[in-house]
Amino acid sequence: MSKLLYIKANAKADGESRTFRISDSFIKAYKEKYPADEVVELDLYEAGLGFLPKGKINELREAVQQNDRNHPILKFAYEFAEADKYVIAEPIWNLGLPAILKAYIDYVAVGGITFTYTEKGPVGLCHNKKAVNIITRGGDYSSESMETLEMADRYLRNIFGFMGITDFETIATDRLDVITEDTDKLMEGAIQKAEEAALAF
C-alpha cells in the first residue's frame, strides 16, 4: 500500500478553482484504480500555513536533532518524507508559485529530514518516490518565447529533485485566460489527461 500526499495551493473558494477541477479528477481516478492506497489531502490555505517565524531557525534545528515529529512546523516535513507519492495542484501566479506553496516548501525542505549535507554537497533523502504537478496557466508557457519566464513548475521540479524525487511529471493546462480559446474544451482535455495519468501513477 502506498501513501499519496495531495498538496493543494489555491486561494479560490471551493468549486471555483479550475486547477482543483483537474487535480480532483486525478485523485478520484487514482482512488478508483488503487483503493487500498492512503490519500492524505493537505489544503495549504485550510491548514493556515504561514511563513517561517522569525528567530526560530535554531529551535527548528534542535527539534530535528530530537526527532520531534509533533513540532508544529516540522510535522509537515515528516509527513512529506513519509509519503510515497505526491500530487501538487496550483495555478501560476506572476510567473511563479503562490506564496503559500513556497512557504510550504520552506517547511518541508529541511536538512536531516528530506535532504542532508555531505562532504560532496547536499543529497536528497526522499528516494524511490514520484510526483505529478498539476498546474493551470492563463498564457501559453509552452512556447519558446514564454518558456524561460515560467518559474513555477520549473522550481518545483528542481526542489523536488533536490530532495531526491526525480520521477516528476507535469500536467499543465495553458491559455485558460486567452479570450479566443474554448476554455471548456481545454478543461475537458486536461481532465481526461489527468484521469489517464492517474491510472499509471
157 is in an annotated binding site: no
Q: Where are the alpha helices (DSSP H) in the chain?
A: 18-33, 57-65, 74-82, 99-108, 144-147, 153-162, 183-199
138 is in an annotated binding site: yes
Interatomic CA distance for residues 79 and 69, integer angstroms:
9
**What is the greatest pairwise CA distance in the chain?**
56
Residue with cell string 526560530: 56
Q: 42 is written with which cell numbers? A: 493537505
136 is in an annotated binding site: yes
118 is in an annotated binding site: no
Instruction: Write out the DSSP string of 52-65.
Output: PPTT-HHHHHHHHH
Interatomic CA distance for residues 199 and 100, integer angstroms:
29
**What residue numbers does the annotated binding site for FMN cover?**
136-139
**What residue numbers does the annotated binding site cover?**
136-139
